[in-house]
A and B are shown apart, each in its own frame.
Chain A
Amino acid sequence: MSQGDTPLYAAREPIFPKRVSGRFRNLKWGIMLFTLGIYYLTPWIRWDRGPEMPDQAVLVDLAGRRFFFFWIEIWPHEFYFVAGLLIMAGLGLFLFTSALGRVWCGYACPQTVWTDLFILVERWIEGDRNARLRLHRAKWSLNKLRLRLTKWVVWLLIGLATGGAWVFYFTDAPSLAVALVNGTAHPVAYTTMAILTASTFFFGGIAREQVCIYACPWPRIQAAMMDEDTITIGYRGWRGEPRGKASDPNAGDCIDCMACVNVCPMGIDIRDGQQMECITCGLCIDACDDIMTKMGRERGLVDYLALKDETREREGMKKTPIWRHVLRPRTIFYTALWSAFGLAMVFALFVRADIDITVAPVRNPTFVTMSDGSIRNTYDIRIRNKNGEAHKFVFSQTSTERLWLSVEGSEARVVEVPADQMLQVRVYITADAGSPAATAERTVLRFWVQDLESSERASADSYFTGKVR
């Protein structure tokens, strides 16, 4: 490579975020505790669904093709509920982003939460920013090796716990936990855990902010949802500049202590203005407020600010109240859209039946002539019994013509479908010899299935094919 060529690869500048305390740091600790709590504890919540059903509150039963969420049970053909939830999650992100900027990135994103946890461990073991910088620059020694190994082992253990919690969502957690310890669990469980352990270690320990900057598509999309009313993090440059010593009467409020830069997990200087890397975690606000308080100056040199306010304040006007930023047509529209999806799904959840049937006429042959000359069609009917117990169902049919229904293997036309199962039943419809249906090409009919216990009914339309001479 000749001189003057720019390298295509930029080596990562290591970041050593300094410890900070304050309002937003406390909020972040709280959210971390809450989200990690949800993640680790959810598989252990029990929920009684009856003797034949799993008692895990949240369970993705891939083998049985069922998704359990407390009192809700989703079958594969009801996957639109999951799609709806994903759409709601998307719209929720739109809403929060247009109102509060990258608040998801800064507080709730797993990448942020786990990286925060990994940095916490790093600080406990290797010390705060300066100690870590020194260790980073030091040559390899027994001490450095000891500290690094300890850190890596703890990181790996966190990764293992992360992968370990993940697999519990897919099968009964207590029995899997025992099997994992005994070494008798399914290889898929161990493989999943190994992969997630490695990826957690890599994403939280090594890649960190690079995931947000290079890998994640969300930051790029977010810019489309933000406008000058969106609350982001800003630096009151008109107050802080020019930077200078505290004793300098001509200098602004910023004493250039670098506190805001040292605590930043993304390694940026917020005083340079809005930047792609900023995840609006608010740690620089805490750091600066701390310094300003010590200096006896007004807090909020670095603050949550809308672009609109930045312009207003620069011109000496008063800040617009937060609610006027948040309540604007755009956010109201997102909220309405989000609620519409939510209400539609709640509605769909309440109207869905505990049974339903689908009918597949046997087409090859379409009909069979019986010895008395009557014409018979065959149908494969699937009944889904979503109840927690086995239920009995009776078949019937309605049609404009005279037709007779019989069920393979049951003279009473009753079948029992086991709890939470689908059963395929062979059903025959017969038309008397020479009757209108027996000689017409097509007769429309409707199958009915009635639950003998709850009297709930389900129906499906089909047709009868006659023998046309």
Chain B
Amino acid sequence: MSKNDKKQQVETTGHEWDGIQEFNNPLPRWWVWVFYVTIGWGLWYTVAYPAWPLLTGATEGYKGFSTRGQVAADIAAVEAQNAPNNAALAASDLATLQTANPALYSYAVNAGGAVFRTNCVQCHGNEGMGATGYPTLSDDDWLWGGSVVDIAYTVSNGVRNESSPDARFSQMPAFGDILSNEEIANVVAYVRALSGQEADATAAAAGQQVFLDNCSACHGEDGKGDRMVGAPNLADALWLYGGDAATITQTVKNARFGVMPAWSEAFRDGGLTQAEVNAVAIYVHQLGGGE
């Protein structure tokens, strides 16, 4: 059978241009039906799911599906899963949790890590490494106390803020208006000597009396600080704002007023629940400096 014979057998559409005819080769039936089904499915889809654009939004679809709704549902599912742990954590005695309930403790460390990385790292840094003006949480020096209960209180109520009536509060006077420049220079030398840094011996000797008169009420006669008022230990190697003479002079003259928000949901919208406060306190406590 030649090619011409084959041509004879096939139906043509009747179209002809310059002797060239158009074959009629219809699509297979099943293929066409699949095509119709996809059209039907496409129409159904636009009714079932958000599809048609409107002036201020789009049709919602009768199934009420949205990706935001899906995320919300996923979050709700995880929260429901964690609810028993959180309830137990909110009610537990933080000081003894590690030995009393190791599993819940481990949950708290992980959950607290998430809370910390969301809310705390902005100032306190990764793993609580701290920054100038923002205390390092992984060392052994604490302004307001480093027990897990102390930490939970600080997280809940914050420091020197106006939202919590129970916030940790103290204020160092700006000694620039009280002391003379010479007295300030002397007390700075004394403070540097206290922490074992290089200082002019005569100035430091003169500064001791200034310190006892003006500073020891909060920082203690030995300069080791007082946690009741959040007065830093001046005799150690750690400086929140810097231990060089210029920075200490600035601190003495103008004072510092570091503020931390009260994180409890009692004091701010979208704040931390009691379980989250406890979790982040446990996390911070195990960063390396917990007492």
Contact = CB atoms under 8 A, between A and B. Distances in A.
Interface of A: 2-4, 362, 364-365, 368-373, 376, 378, 408-409, 426, 428, 433
Given A364-B127, A364-B129, A365-B126, A371 B288 contact: no
Nearest to B137: A368
Given A408-B286, A409-B98, A368 B136 contact: yes
B289 to A, nearest CB: 8
A2 B126 CA distance: 75
A369 B237 contact: yes
A376 B129 contact: no
Contact of B286 (A2, A362, A368, A409): A409
B238 interface: yes
B20 interface: no
Nearest to B195: A373
B171 to A, nearest CB: 24
A376 B125 CA distance: 17
B233 interface: yes
23 contacts: A3-B1, A4-B1, A365-B125, A365-B138, A368-B136, A369-B136, A369-B139, A369-B237, A370-B139, A370-B140, A370-B238, A371-B139, A371-B140, A371-B233, A371-B237, A372-B236, A373-B236, A376-B139, A378-B138, A378-B288, A408-B286, A426-B288, A433-B237
Nearest to B2: A2
List the 10 shortest-distance A-B pairs measured between CB atoms, nearest first: A373-B237, A371-B236, A365-B129, A371-B141, A364-B126, A368-B138, A368-B139, A371-B238, A370-B140, A370-B139
B150 to A, nearest CB: 16
A112 B139 CA distance: 68
Contacts, number: 52
B29 interface: no
A376 B288 contact: yes
Contacts of B63: none
A428 B236 contact: no
B15 interface: no
A2 B288 contact: no
Given A365-B126, A371-B139, 19 more contacts: A2-B1, A3-B1, A364-B126, A364-B127, A364-B129, A365-B129, A368-B129, A368-B139, A369-B139, A369-B237, A370-B140, A370-B238, A371-B236, A372-B236, A372-B237, A373-B196, A373-B236, A373-B237, A409-B98
B6 interface: yes
Nearest to B129: A365
Interface string B214-234: 000000000000000000010
A369 B196 CA distance: 15
A373 B238 CA distance: 7
A365 B127 contact: yes
A423 to B, nearest CB: 11
A373 B286 CA distance: 20
Nearest to B142: A371
Interface magnitude class on chain B: 10 to 19
Given A2-B1, A409-B286, A370 B127 contact: no
A372 to B, nearest CB: 6
- Per DSSP, are chain A's interface residues mostly helix, strand or loop, or mixed? loop
A362 B113 CA distance: 15
Contact of A2 (B6, B127, B138, B140): B6
Contacts of A4: 1
B237 to A, nearest CB: 3
Contacts of B236: 371-373
A297 B140 CA distance: 99
A426 B236 CA distance: 25
A370 B125 contact: no
A2 B236 CA distance: 98
A426 B286 contact: yes
Contacts of B288: 368, 376, 378, 408, 426, 428
B6, B98, B139: most-surrounded residue (chain A CB, <10 A): B139
Contacts of A428: 288
Contact of A362 (B127, B139, B141): B127
A373 B196 CA distance: 10
Nearest to A365: B129
Contacts of A365: 125-127, 129, 138
B215 to A, nearest CB: 19
Contact of A370 (B126, B237, B286): B237
Contacts of A2: 1, 6
B287 to A, nearest CB: 8
Interface in B141-170: 141
A417 to B, nearest CB: 13
B98, B127, B233: most-surrounded residue (chain A CB, <10 A): B127
Contacts of A433: 237
Nearest to A362: B127
B38 to A, nearest CB: 27
A75 B125 CA distance: 36
B3 to A, nearest CB: 9
Contacts of A368: 129, 136, 138-139, 288
B95 to A, nearest CB: 14
Nearest to A433: B237
Contacts of B141: 370-371
A409 B285 CA distance: 11
A251 to B, nearest CB: 45
Interface in B104-128: 125-127
Interface string B196-218: 10000000000000000000000
Interface in B12-55: none
Contacts of B139: 368-371, 376
B126 A369 contact: no
Contacts of A409: 98, 286
Contacts of A3: 1
Nearest to A3: B1
A302 to B, nearest CB: 45
